[in-house]
Structure 1
Amino acid sequence: MATIKVKQVRSAINRTKTQKRTLEALGLKRLHQVVTHEASPAVLGMVAAVRHLVEVQEEN
């Protein structure tokens, strides 16, 4: 399975509780932090929910 890198590029301030919890579930705690995840349907769904707050790169 492929892996992806997720980087938080926008703040969680003034976001809904659901969006904040989604960022926490992805392991993102601060701006410009990068985490690596397997590209599973669950992770891709979480990334889609906060796509306006993160950048995604596919890792080879």
Structure 2
Amino acid sequence: MAKVRISQIRSTIKRPENQKRTIKALGLGKINRSVEVELTPQINGMINKVSHLVSVTEL
């Protein structure tokens, strides 16, 4: 599997609760925080759900 770096670029203030929980499940929570994860179908689905709040870079 490919590895990707996910960085939060926008705030979760005034966002639906399911988007806030998705950001937490990805290991984010603050702006400019980044995590490196394997790109599985589950992670890809979470990225698509909050794509307007995060940036994704392939490693």
TM-score, length-normalised on structure 1? Answer: 0.96
How far apart are residue 29 of structure 1 and its match? 1.5
Count of residues paired in the alignment = 59
Gap regions ≥5 residues in structure 2 = none
**Consecutive unaligned residues in structure 1, runs of 5 or more:** none
Question: Superposition RMSD on alpha carbons, in Å?
Answer: 0.4
Name 1:43's counterpart in structure 2.
Answer: 43
Stretches of 4+ aligned residues off by more than 2 angstroms: none
| 3-state SS of paired residue (1:6) | strand
1:55 aligned partner: 55
Q: Counterparts of 1:57 and 1:3 in 2: how far apart (Å)?
A: 9
Residue in 2 that maps onto 1:3: 3
* Equivalent residue number for residue 31 of structure 1: 31
